[in-house]
Chains A and B, each alone.
Chain A
């Protein structure tokens, strides 16, 4: 398996522009997570989906952030409009969920976003 695929790997944009990050989870996985990594706060969970349905978006910082999962093999995280403080590395992860919820999450390589 190719693992979790994210695109683009790097994104540089200007403040106010729309940014769309993409993720393809591991085939067969039913949970998908979006995380943001910053120096100050480490890895923060933004939102997660189960069977394509958003379950918890309490980590989404503002209404400027939105995420969708139109099917089991694709998800997007959109920031509109983007701001310099959104600069971070954004990770997508997937797992095959179970009763205990203790299954390993598999992370993609991340998208490094820089908003000027």
Chain B
């Protein structure tokens, strides 16, 4: 059973528009969430994180929103750029400090 779910396997967005990637989790004890980005033939790289004491964290074009009551978080990229095309993994830190990853969403940003 997946504790962290990314229900959209892929997303296609035009350059300059907003990309919204969604993630749901089932364990209300999760208190720290991260997004990793992965390019083909490379390992995932850390992108942005958020603690459960916040509902928003922003870093340049990337913003993560957390809705604890809905057990939902989202990553917004605005404006989207072709270089953002990658697979994005949502992850949660469990109570043993292990990362629980989702299955990923492949984002394609086209010109």
Pick out which of these stretches binds chain B: A11-19, A38-46, A65-73, A76-84. Answer: A38-46
Report yes or no: B103 in contact with A109, Cβ–Cβ below 8 A. no
Query: Beyond A43-B89, A43-B101, A101-B97, is A109–B43 a contact (Cβ under 8 Å)?
Result: yes
Report yes or no: A93 in contact with B43, Cβ–Cβ below 8 A. yes
Determine the chain A residues whose CB is within 8 A of the CB of B44 once the complex forms. 43, 91, 107
Chain B's nearest CB lies how many Å from the CB of A108? 5
Q: Is A85 an interface residue (CB 8 A)?
A: no
Determine the chain A residues whose CB is within 8 A of the CB of B97 once the complex forms. 101-102
A 83-99 contacts with B by CB, 8 A? 91, 93
Determine the chain B residues whose CB is within 8 A of the CB of A91 once the complex forms. 43-44
Query: Beyond A48-B98, A101-B97, A102-B49, is A42–B42 a contact (Cβ under 8 Å)?
Result: no
A–B Cβ pairs within 8 angstroms, 16 of them: A39-B103, A43-B44, A43-B99, A45-B100, A91-B43, A101-B93, A101-B97, A102-B32, A102-B93, A102-B97, A105-B99, A106-B45, A107-B43, A108-B43, A109-B42, A109-B43
